[in-house]
């Protein structure tokens, strides 16, 4: 796997695909700098070698329209502050204006190109557009895991114009290694914790990881489809009735492969879907009508903790309760605490996929697990066993 460590960037211009698709407030201030910070080590490596960096990214979904509210100029000040170098900015990402800006770059300088998605050709993976981008650098570096599952011009197609001079940035390399640790090279026992509301959104992940894990903890709204399929009473809990056969099939496949499945045994049930509802602890197979399970119960959390603490490799994808409401966040926090404890004892822990990343950030576990993935969709497709186009383009 070629990374920026395989290249000396002295007097070279690195064309780096970063993911600066960051949230902005009404005054165009960056409200979350995680993605900019994640790209910093790769950019600094190029500059310290004596090279210059040409950064390309998208921001939002302008759908081919040049929109001031989605201009990357709004992030120049914040990115300059984080990188410790004043970014130059150019109002286009291809053509003579961009080419002139690149030509004037001195070693140690960083240029940010305008939003790639101001051109429809970016998302279409247009080859002519990719070729124009390729004129802006000597070495192509992909460091945008969040878009690696898209065969866009800047993430995939452009790589073919750098047959020998292409590599992964540090962030993308770390993402690949983290996923490999869980799916291929991880020390056993390997435990996957899958939460969230729907079995249907996790089917392909479950099917792929059953070959790789020793334990599968299932939590969150998915629980109730499994419980109902086995004849349990789930009251008014969320359930995908048309996925009950699938749930039984997953349990049967797991048993054949020697994978232990851990479902909740008790839940915190509520008489309404709101934070101030009345609550009680219920056996997961006997939730009364008019009540719904909204968080994992105390016995369940004891069981989950025991499994997690006995694991050497842990994947966490999805919360085990409605963590957005404080009264139903205790289960998700307890799982985070158990993973933190296991990590401190030497386990490798990877958190990835939308809501679990949000939960980890909200409850302060970000620096207490081994790795938090930056790419929601890309992470999920990797766990499904797919080869991501942006990764394949560098490896080919």
- When the pLDDT of each residue in the chain is averaged and rounded to a whole number, the result is 95
> Is 276 assigned to a binding site?
no
User: Looking at residues 72-84, what average pLDDT do you find?
Assistant: 98
Active site (annotated) includes residue 35: yes
Catalytic residue among 233, 377, 385, 386: 377
**pLDDT tier at 382 (50, 70, 90 boundaries)?**
confident
> Is 80 assigned to a binding site?
no
Active site (annotated) includes residue 352: no
**pLDDT tier at 384 (50, 70, 90 boundaries)?**
confident
pLDDT of residue 223 exceeding 70, the answer is yes
Other beta carbons within 10 angstroms of residue 344's beta carbon come to: 9
CA dist., res. 349 & res. 368, Å (int):
9
Per-residue model confidence (pLDDT) at position 62: 96
pLDDT of residue 221 exceeding 90, the answer is yes
pLDDT of residue 391 exceeding 70, the answer is yes
What residues contact 225, with CB distance under 8 A and at least 6 apart? 199, 239, 240, 241, 243, 244, 247
Q: What is the pLDDT of residues 256-308, one digit of tens each?
A: 999 999 999 999 999 999 999 999 999 999 999 999 999 999 999 999 999 99
> Is 381 assigned to a binding site?
no
pLDDT of residue 200 exceeding 80, the answer is yes
Other beta carbons within 10 angstroms of residue 76's beta carbon come to: 15
* Angle, CA 371 vertex, CA 365 and CA 377 arms, to 5°: 100
* DSSP category for residue 157: G
Per-residue model confidence (pLDDT) at position 198: 86
CA dist., res. 367 & res. 371, Å (int):
8
CA dist., res. 4 & res. 245, Å (int):
48
* 132 or 352, greater pLDDT: 132
**pLDDT tier at 111 (50, 70, 90 boundaries)?**
very high
Active site (annotated) includes residue 354: yes
Catalytic residue among 198, 260, 305, 361: 198
Residue 295: helix, strand or coil by DSSP? strand
CA atoms within 13 A on the CB side of 161: 23
Catalytic residue among 354, 361, 368, 386: 354
Other beta carbons within 10 angstroms of residue 367's beta carbon come to: 8
Catalytic residue among 35, 88, 174, 228: 35
Q: Is the dihedral of CA 316, 320, 324, 326 positive or negative?
A: negative
Other beta carbons within 10 angstroms of residue 211's beta carbon come to: 11
Active site (annotated) includes residue 17: no
> Is 311 assigned to a binding site?
no
Per-residue model confidence (pLDDT) at position 354: 63
> Is 5 assigned to a binding site?
no
> Is 20 assigned to a binding site?
yes
Structure tokens at 372: 């938090």
> Is 165 assigned to a binding site?
no
Per-residue model confidence (pLDDT) at position 63: 92
> Is 58 assigned to a binding site?
yes
> Is 386 assigned to a binding site?
no
Q: What is the pLDDT of residues 306-354, one digit of tens each?
A: 999 999 999 999 999 999 999 999 999 999 999 999 999 999 999 987 6
CATH 3.40.50.1260 domain extents, the chain: 4-173, 186-383
Q: What is the pLDDT of residues 12-59, one digit of tens each?
A: 999 999 999 999 999 999 999 989 999 999 999 999 999 999 999 999
User: Looking at residues 70-97, what average pLDDT do you find?
Assistant: 98
Structure tokens at 356: 């679990």
Structure tokens at 107: 């070693």
**CATH code of the domain made up of 186-383:** 3.40.50.1260
> Is 61 assigned to a binding site?
yes
Please give the C-alpha separations between residue 279 and each of 178, 314, 327, in angstroms, as whole numbers: 39, 31, 9
Backbone angles phi, psi at 120, to 5 degrees: -60, -25
User: Looking at residues 72-83, what average pLDDT do you find?
Assistant: 98
pLDDT of residue 374 exceeding 80, the answer is no
Other beta carbons within 10 angstroms of residue 194's beta carbon come to: 24
Domain 4-173 part of CATH 3.40.50.1260: yes
> Is 202 assigned to a binding site?
yes
* DSSP category for residue 31: S
Q: What is the pLDDT of residues 143-182, one digit of tens each?
A: 998 889 999 999 999 999 999 999 999 999 999 999 999 8
């Amino acid at each position: 796997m070629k990374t920026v460590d395989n290249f000396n960037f002295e007097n070279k211009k690195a064309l780096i695909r970063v993911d600066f698709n960051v949230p902005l407030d009404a005054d165009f201030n960056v409200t979350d700098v995680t993605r900019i910070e994640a790209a910093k080590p790769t950019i600094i490596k190029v500059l310290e070698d004596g090279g210059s960096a040409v950064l390309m990214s998208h921001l939002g979904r302008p759908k081919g329209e040049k929109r001031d509210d989605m201009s990357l100029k709004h992030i120049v000040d914040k990115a300059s502050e984080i990188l410790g170098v004043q970014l130059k900015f150019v109002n286009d990402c291809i053509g003579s204006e961009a080419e002139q800006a690149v030509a004037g770059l001195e070693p140690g300088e960083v240029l940010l190109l305008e939003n790639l998605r101001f051109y429809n050709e970016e998302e279409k993976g247009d080859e002519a557009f990719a070729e124009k981008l390729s004129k802006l650098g000597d070495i192509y570096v992909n460091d945008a895991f969040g878009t690696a599952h898209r065969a866009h011009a800047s993430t995939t197609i452009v790589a073919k114009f750098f047959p020998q001079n292409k590599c992964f940035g540090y962030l993308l390399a770390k993402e690949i290694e983290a996923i490999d640790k869980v799916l291929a090279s991880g020390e056993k026992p390997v435990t996957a914790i899958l939460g969230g509301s729907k079995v249907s959104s996790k089917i392909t992940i479950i099917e792929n990881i059953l070959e790789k894990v020793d334990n599968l903890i299932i939590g969150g709204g998915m629980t109730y489809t499994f419980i109902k399929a086995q004849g349990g009473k789930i009251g008014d809990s969320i359930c995908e009735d048309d996925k009950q056969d699938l749930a039984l099939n997953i349990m049967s496949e797991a048993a054949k492969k020697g994978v232990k499945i851990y479902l909740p045994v008790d839940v915190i049930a509520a008489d309404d879907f709101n934070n101030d509802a009345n609550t009680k602890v219920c056996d997961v197979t006997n939730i009364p009508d008019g009540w719904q399970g909204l968080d994992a119960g105390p016995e369940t959390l004891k069981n989950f903790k025991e499994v997690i603490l006995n694991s050497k490799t842990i994947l966490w994808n999805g919360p085990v309760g409605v963590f957005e409401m404080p009264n139903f966040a205790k289960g998700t926090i307890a799982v985070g605490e158990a993973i933190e404890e296991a990590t401190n004892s030497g386990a490798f822990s990877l958190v990835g996929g939308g809501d679990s990343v949000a939960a980890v950030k909200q409850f302060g576990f970000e620096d207490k697990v081994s790795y938090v993935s930056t790419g929601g969709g890309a992470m999920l497709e990797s766990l499904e066993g797919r080869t991501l186009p942006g990764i394949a383009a560098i490896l080919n």
